[in-house]
């Protein structure tokens, strides 16, 4: 049978309100009681929340085995509820489809073999802990390692070395765990023994960069050998599915063993508040699940050629990125404070201009009252735009008086969607949303000399400045610790294969020299050196497509030669273009090539007619027929159901292609191979640079296709040469079809390179 939480379809297919679901609930429950079915598949969060006594979102409810139905159905035949994504969501978001098929399969699965809790012991006494470590030395050559500190590594994106080390779990066989408690970890002798052990064995961990980073202040540098989180990512590149608790429940059938500790660690709680015996048990379960995943994923990686090599490449990168996270990059706090004042002044000025605009707006306001004696209405204005007096409706006892009012006498709050909609309504403009995309479209359609147009223009400027302020000024200030920010690099965070980062996100930081100037050197006399690949993704595309035109212009190495000047000459004729107009458009065509950008979006952004944009785009594509043919081949591969695979072994799998998502899928397919490969060429260079720089300087940042190091000024030539050597070598190892040159810049702040 098939049914709905609400039989009446809401307007515009909106999510039913709580009142609507409550009104329909008796009908739904009665329908299910009399259906005779034993299993129910709920599509989407609304359906799931109606049938299970669990307030979590569908993202969490769909994980793990079928759920028990709500207690309101105890008298029915229903035994199991399987929650999954709504089918309409899957049609729009192809990456949700594999989870949908997995969830549907749960209806046919029998009971899984019960997951067996581990046998574990904890040791708080230093002497007994040392004896246990000695025994592990004799018995194990591979150990699963998991630490507990004040935060949870699956979602906090903080740095463990900023917290006390609470315990270390060591798994030496399936279901066999030893936990070294916090009292033992305060013993120098016990730490020495642990250090000796972990430097000898192969270390397995889940998100091991976190664990080894937390152990670094106590044990020094350790090398990760296998990472179950990265193995999961190699097998399935969709983000959001690689946390240990999700995998433990979904892949192993483990219980939600973290429920026991939640009462002690509410949101942003500290794991140090958990009773130690309970914390040690939780740690032991983490270790046991990691060990089981290690055995499972080791076999799975071997079943697809190249995946184990990809895993090992990512582990090598993880071992080096750990040090970038530990080092962080210095924030110039005095300048950051000045920058804060600059942005606040900018925002105040824009708000003042918005206030001036809205104060010119007037709107009609209707006021109602009842006649008592004669036509006089006490306490009500007597002005009406048509008659000049009270406006009397068909009801002789009801008077409606209209007056002109100023809707925002004290100014407008540009952060309030409600007020923005009210102002636009006063200008006879109705919008369902005030997001940036809607405002941009609106701004393009309004006459430029109107108050409404000026309002939208200033509001977009305000939104832009406020986002910069909240993200890169206040956001950076809040994340500064001991004068530095310490981003968390995520090797598993994107389907594109590019490196991601969190808290703060430095991978997507804007190219604004004022904002980047906050990031500087750690001491006077030091410099930052940035090495940046020139058109890395274009060089990858030229190689993959074997495009001779791109090869020719990308291989030229003449003094003063400019790649985009050459392209502009080809498109507009030598000397028939301007640097600040046509050349910028040329760059838009070129950089849009990698993700299938269309003429319409270029026309909108660069104030061109669509016809001109189409003509120029066609002319540009005629220069690179081999690339056009290669892109067509990529599209056909995806439409045929094949994976896209890079030479580094990364896969991009497109699970479901529909009319709703086809355009997005094709654009992502075109960008995947160039972006992922260029990023990995740079990442490989980064893993080699840091060990060579030991004693000379520090690698501070890696941003997609650029590396930034810090060193003393008298070491800049030596450090710069290391960066150039390794980045050039990594490019040459990938291809000799085109060179992979790098630009080198030196300064005292990141802003010097913007």
Domain CATH code at residue 260: 3.30.420.10
**Residue 713 in domain:** yes
Burial of residue 430 (number of CB atoms within 10 Å: 0-12, 13-18, 19+): exposed
* Spatial separation of the C-alpha atoms in residues 292 and 252, rounded to whole Å: 8
Cα gap 387→151, rounded to integer Å = 70
Q: Which of 105, 133, 152 marks a domain boundary?
A: 105
**Spatial distance between the Cα atoms of 290 and 244, rounded to a whole number of angstroms:** 7
pLDDT value for 369: 46
pLDDT at 144 over 90: yes
pLDDT value, residue 160: 85
Residue 543, Cβ neighbours under 10 Å: how many? 21
Mean pLDDT, residues 331-345 taken together = 95
For residue 621, what is the enclosing H or E element? helix 610-623
Q: Is the pLDDT of residue 461 over 70?
A: yes
Per-residue pLDDT, 388:
47
Work out the percent of the chain whose per-residue pLDDT is above 90.
59
By mean pLDDT, which of 436-445, 476-485, 647-656 is the weakest?
436-445
pLDDT band at 131 (very low <50, low <70, confident <90, very high): very high
Q: pLDDT tier at 110 (50, 70, 90 boundaries)?
A: low
pLDDT of residue 402: 53
pLDDT score for 300: 97
Q: Are residues 179 and 290 in the same domain?
A: yes
Q: Is the pLDDT of residue 390 over 50?
A: no
- CA angle 102/107/109 to nearest 5° reads 80
Domain tally, the chain: 4
Confidence band for 381, pLDDT divided at 50, 70 and 90:
very low
pLDDT band for 153, please (50, 70, 90 cuts).
Answer: confident
Nearest alpha-carbon partner for 427 in 517, 523, 499, 360? 360
Select the highest-mean-pLDDT range: 117-131, 356-370, 450-464. Answer: 117-131
* Torsions phi, psi for 449 (to 5 deg): -100, 15
- How many whole angstroms separate alpha carbon 354 and alpha carbon 569? 43
How far apart CA 137 and CA 157 sit, in angstroms, is 32
Average pLDDT of the chain is 89
Mean pLDDT of 482-506: 92
Q: Is residue 157 assigned to a domain?
A: yes
Residue in the structure block whose two tokens are 């994976």: 643
Q: What stretch of H or E contains 138?
A: helix 126-139
Query: Residue 240 pLDDT > 90, yes or no?
Result: no
Domain shared by 358 and 505, yes or no: no
The answer to whether residues 129 and 236 belong to one domain is yes
- Which of 54, 80, 105 is the last residue before a domain boundary? 105
Q: What average pLDDT does this structure show over 58-63?
A: 88
Residue 376: pLDDT band with limits 50, 70, 90: very low
Coil, helix or strand at residue 622: helix
* 485 inside domain: no
Q: Where among 105, 138, 156 does a domain terminate? A: 105
Q: Is the peptide bond before 504 cis (omega within 30 degrees of 0)?
A: yes
Residues 343 and 319 in one domain: no
Residue 594 lies in a domain: no
Residue 679 has a pLDDT of 96
Q: Report pLDDT for 404.
A: 63
Residues 237 and 135 in one domain: yes
Q: Which contacts (CB < 8 Å, 24+ apart) does range 443-449 have?
A: 444/604
When pLDDT is cut at 50, 70 and 90, the band that residue 379 belongs to is very low
Instruction: Tell me the C-alpha distance between 488 and 502, whole Å.
Output: 5
**pLDDT value of position 370:** 42
d(CA 454, CA 409): 19
User: Which range, of 260-264, 378-382, 610-614, 728-732, averages the lowest pLDDT?
Assistant: 378-382
Measuring CA to CA, which residue among 129, 110, 109 is closest to residue 121?
129
Q: Quote the pLDDT of residue 386.
A: 52
Residue 154 sits in the same domain as residue 20: no
Q: What is the pLDDT of residue 616?
A: 85
Which position has the higher pLDDT, 602 or 506?
506
Average pLDDT over residues 360-375: 51
Q: Is residue 111 part of a domain?
A: no
Same domain flag for 265 and 293: yes
* Residue 371 placed within a domain: no
pLDDT, one tens digit per residue, over 686-741 is 999 999 999 999 999 999 899 999 999 999 999 999 999 999 999 999 999 999 99
The pLDDT-based confidence of 645 (bands split at 50, 70, 90) is very high
Is 342 among the domain residues? yes
Domain check: are 754 and 656 in the same one? Answer: yes
Nearest to 536 by CA among 677, 689, 650, 630: 677
Helix (H) or strand (E) holding 212: helix 208-219
| Cα gap 523→712, rounded to integer Å | 9
Q: Are residues 47 and 172 in the same domain?
A: no
Measured between alpha carbons, how far apart are the two ends of the chain, in Å? 61
pLDDT tier, 293 (very low <50, low <70, confident <90, very high otherwise): very high
> Do the domain assignments include residue 688?
yes
On whether both 503 and 630 belong to a single domain, the answer is yes
CATH code, 635: 3.30.70.370
Using alpha carbons, list the distances in angstroms from residue 314 to 462, 501, 724: 41, 15, 22
Across 19-33, 397-411, 503-517, least confident range:
397-411
Q: Per-residue b/e over 565-576, b at no fewer than 16 CB within 10 Å?
A: ebbbebbbeeee
**Whose CA is closest to 434, among 444, 423, 446, 426?**
423
For residue 365, the model assigns a pLDDT of: 52
Q: Give yes or no for residue 73 having a pLDDT over 90.
A: no
Q: Alpha-carbon Rg of the chain, whole angstroms?
A: 31
Q: CA 443, CA 312: separation in Å to the nearest integer?
A: 50
Closest CA to 72 of 38, 25, 19: 25
> Do residues 99 and 163 both lie within one domain?
no
Tell me which residue range forms the domain holding 140.
Answer: 119-326
- 512 with 641, same domain: the answer is yes
pLDDT at 257: 93
| Residue-wise pLDDT tens digits, 198-222 | 999 999 999 999 999 999 999 999 9
Residue of 469, 468, 479 whose CA lies nearest to 504: 479
Q: Is the pLDDT of residue 509 over 90?
A: no
**Which of 151-160, 183-192, 281-290, 468-477 has the lowest average pLDDT?**
151-160
Beta strands in 534-650 (DSSP E): 644-645
Mean pLDDT of 226-255: 93
Helix, strand, coil abundance in the chain, percent, nearest 5: 50, 15, 35
């Amino acid at each position: 049978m098939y049914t709905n939480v609400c039989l009446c379809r809401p307007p515009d297919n909106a999510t039913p309100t709580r009142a609507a679901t409550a009104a329909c609930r008796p009908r739904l429950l009665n329908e299910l009681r009399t259906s005779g079915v034993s299993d129910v598949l709920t599509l989407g969060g609304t359906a799931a929340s109606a049938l299970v006594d669990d307030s979590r979102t569908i993202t969490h409810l769909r994980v793990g085995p079928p759920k028990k139905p709500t207690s309101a159905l105890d008298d029915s035949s229903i035994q199991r509820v399987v929650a999954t994504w709504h089918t309409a969501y899957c049609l729009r978001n192809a990456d949700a489809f594999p989870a949908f098929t997995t969830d549907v399969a749960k209806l046919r699965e029998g009971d899984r073999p019960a997951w067996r809790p581990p046998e574990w012991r904890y040791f708080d006494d230093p002497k007994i802990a040392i004896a246990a470590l000695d025994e592990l030395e004799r018995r194990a050559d591979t150990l699963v390692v998991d630490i507990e500190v004040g935060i949870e590594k699956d979602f906090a994106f903080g740095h463990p070395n900023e917290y006390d080390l609470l315990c270390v779990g060591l798994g030496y066989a399936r279901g066999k765990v030893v936990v070294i408690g916090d009292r033992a970890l305060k013993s120098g002798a016990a730490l020495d023994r642990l250090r000796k052990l972990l430097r000898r064995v192969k270390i397995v961990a889940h998100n091991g960069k976190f664990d080894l980073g937390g152990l670094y202040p106590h044990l020094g540098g350790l090398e990760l050998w296998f990472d179950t989180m990265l193995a999961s990512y190699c097998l399935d590149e969709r983000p959001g599915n690689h946390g240990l608790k999700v995998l433990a429940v979904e892949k192993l059938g483990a219980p939600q063993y973290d429920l026991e500790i939640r009462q002690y660690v509410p949101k942003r709680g500290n794991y140090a508040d958990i009773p130690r015996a309970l914390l040690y048990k939780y740690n032991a379960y983490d270790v046991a699940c990691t060990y089981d995943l290690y055995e499972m994923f080791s076999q799975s990686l071997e079943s697809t050629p190249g995946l184990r090599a990809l895993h090992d490449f990512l582990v090598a990168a993880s071992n080096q990125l750990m040090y970038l996270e530990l080092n962080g990059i210095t924030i110039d706090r005095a300048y950051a404070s000045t920058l804060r004042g600059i942005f606040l002044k900018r925002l105040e000025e824009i708000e003042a201009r918005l206030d001036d605009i809205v104060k010119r707006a007037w709107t009609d306001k209707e006021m109602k009252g009842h006649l008592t004696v004669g036509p006089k209405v006490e306490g009500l204005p007597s002005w009406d735009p048509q008659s000049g007096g009270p406006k009397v409706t068909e009801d002789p006892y009801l008077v409606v008086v209209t007056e002109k009012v100023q809707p925002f006498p004290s100014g407008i709050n540009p952060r309030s969607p409600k007020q923005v909609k009210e102002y636009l309504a006063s200008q006879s403009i109705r919008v369902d949303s005030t997001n940036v995309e809607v405002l941009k479209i609106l701004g393009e359609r309004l006459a430029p000399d109107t108050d409404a147009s000026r309002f939208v223009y200033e509001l977009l400027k305000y939104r832009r400045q406020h986002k910069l302020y909240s993200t890169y000024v206040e956001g950076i200030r809040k994340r500064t610790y001991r004068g530095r920010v310490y981003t968390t690099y995520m090797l598993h965070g994107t389907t594109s294969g590019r490196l991601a980062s969190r808290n703060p996100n430095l991978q997507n930081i804007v190219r604004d020299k004022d904002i980047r100037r906050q990031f500087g050197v750690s001491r006077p006399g030091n410099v930052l050196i940035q090495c940046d690949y020139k058109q890395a993704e274009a060089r990858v595309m030229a190689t993959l497509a074997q495009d001779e035109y791109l090869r020719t212009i990308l291989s030229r190495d003449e003094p003063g030669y400019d790649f985009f000047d050459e392209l502009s000459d080809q498109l507009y004729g030598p000397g028939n273009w301007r640097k600040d107009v046509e050349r910028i458009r040329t760059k838009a065509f070129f950089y849009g090539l990698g993700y299938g950008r269309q003429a319409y979006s270029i026309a909108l952004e660069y104030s061109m007619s669509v016809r001109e944009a189409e003509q120029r785009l066609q002319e540009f594509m005629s220069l690179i027929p081999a690339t056009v043919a290669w892109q067509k081949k990529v599209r056909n591969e995806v439409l045929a159901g094949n994976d896209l695979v890079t030479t580094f072994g990364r896969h991009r799998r497109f699970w479901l292609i529909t009319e709703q998502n086809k355009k997005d899928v094709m654009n992502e397919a075109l960008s995947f191979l160039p972006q992922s490969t260029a990023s990995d060429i740079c990442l490989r260079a980064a893993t080699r640079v840091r060990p060579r720089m030991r004693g000379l300087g520090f690698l501070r940042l890696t941003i997609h296709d650029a590396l930034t190091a810090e060193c003393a000024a008298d070491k800049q030539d030596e450090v710069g040469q290391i960066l150039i050597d390794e980045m050039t070598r990594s490019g040459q190892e990938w291809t000799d079809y085109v060179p992979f040159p790098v630009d080198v810049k030196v300064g005292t702040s990141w802003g010097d390179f913007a």
